[in-house]
Amino acid sequence: MTIHKSVLLEEAIEALNLKEGSVVVDATLGGGGHSLEILKLIGKGGRLIVIDADDGAIARFGKRMQEQQIENVTLVRDNFRNLGSILKSLEIERVDAILADIGYSSDQLEDAERGISFQLDAPLDMRFDQSQKLTAEKIVNDYGREDLERIIKNYGEERFCKNIVRGIVGYRSKKRIESTRELVSIIESHVPDGYRRGRISPATKTFQAIRIEVNQELDSLREFTSAAIRMLSFRGRLAVISFHSLEDRIVKEIFRENARGCICPQDFPVCLCEKLAKLKIITKKPVIAGPDEIERNPRARSAKLRVCEFISK
């Protein structure tokens, strides 16, 4: 059973331009809401490959497919950054559409053992893939001061990163930081009163930064997006839903780079670079959730959908 509500569901599915018999990848299965809609459109003649690093997500969706006797789904427990090797192992050269929802699912957020949410007292874990060794607890306790400042500043865009790291280093010199509650307490006691009483929790950005480091989320997104473009068939579409500015910037820049054609100086009479655009950008501006969806699902407030189409033959 999943409690996750898929974000920008109708917009993302419509943007993929799916047809009966399409071969589609849902690269971040999560609660499976997007995948269920995809299956309705591609029919029994289509094929859906679902990927997730979370054992629980794969197991829940696999059970549902078995109960409904749906056979045209391939389940893959892996990181979406490995899309190229995953499809190669399945002997698939090109696909008609790829979707990735980069946000963590509500199932993960509400799992007290994951330690992703600062609103629950839990072990400092934050791993999407429970088989990996690096955890938030290890980062907070074993990373040097400079590395912690870099992570919290760059990945969390936290202006009080030095104060927060000073608190972390001082606290861990007496005992290891083991729980989310301990980390929240350290953060709250090392930021100004006004910041602590702000609209969002002062722990939000630090927790985001540590989670990104634990799961290497930005590197994974870069590798995935580049691989996904290579794996699209002619007129195939890639849709990516991101949830913060760092992710959105990566997707936008990779789309733009692949949508560029000739790069010769403007005063050249003929093109010498022979560079052709690979993509057509479908969403000139990112698609965002409307007020009705945000009311139903507050997590949709920060979601941004970008879509491109592969046009190179």
pLDDT at residue 286, rounded to an integer: 96
Q: Is the pLDDT of residue 233 over 70?
A: yes
**Three-class DSSP category at 234:** strand
Which of 215, 290, 231 has the alpha carbon at shortest distance from 54?
A: 215
Tell me which of 113-122, 144-153, 272-281, 294-303 is least confident.
113-122
In the sheet that holds 279-281, the strands lie side by side as 73-77, 47-52, 23-26, 95-101, 232-242, 304-310, 279-281
Size (the chain), residues? 313
Q: What is the pLDDT of residues 29-82, one digit of tens each?
A: 998 999 999 999 999 999 999 999 989 899 999 999 999 999 999 999 999 999
pLDDT at residue 156, rounded to an integer: 95
Q: For residue 151, with 0-12 CB atoms within 10 Å meaning exposed, 13-18 middle and 19 or more buried, which class applies?
A: buried
Q: What is the pLDDT of residues 124-136, one digit of tens each?
A: 999 988 889 999 9
Q: How far apart are CA 18 and CA 7, in angstroms?
A: 18
Q: What is the pLDDT of residues 237-288, one digit of tens each?
A: 999 999 999 999 999 999 999 998 777 777 777 776 667 899 999 999 999 9
In the chain, the domains with their CATH numbers are: 9-107+217-310 (3.40.50.150), 114-215 (1.10.150.170)
Helix or strand holding residue 155 (H, E): helix 145-156
For 286: left if phi > 0, alpha if psi spans -120 to 50, otherwise beta; the answer is: beta
Q: How far apart are CA 290 and CA 309, in angstroms?
A: 24
Q: How many whole angstroms from its chain centre is CA 189?
A: 31
Q: What is the pLDDT of residues 195-221, one digit of tens each?
A: 998 888 999 999 999 999 999 999 999
CA distance to 70, 76, 279, per residue, from 63 (Å): 10, 14, 37
pLDDT at residue 1, rounded to an integer: 53
Report which DSSP code applies to 27.
S
Percent of the chain at pLDDT > 90 equals 80
pLDDT at residue 215, rounded to an integer: 93
Tell me which of 151-160, 219-228, 273-282 is least confident.
273-282
Q: For residue 264, with 0-12 CB atoms within 10 Å meaning exposed, 13-18 middle and 19 or more buried, which class applies?
A: middle
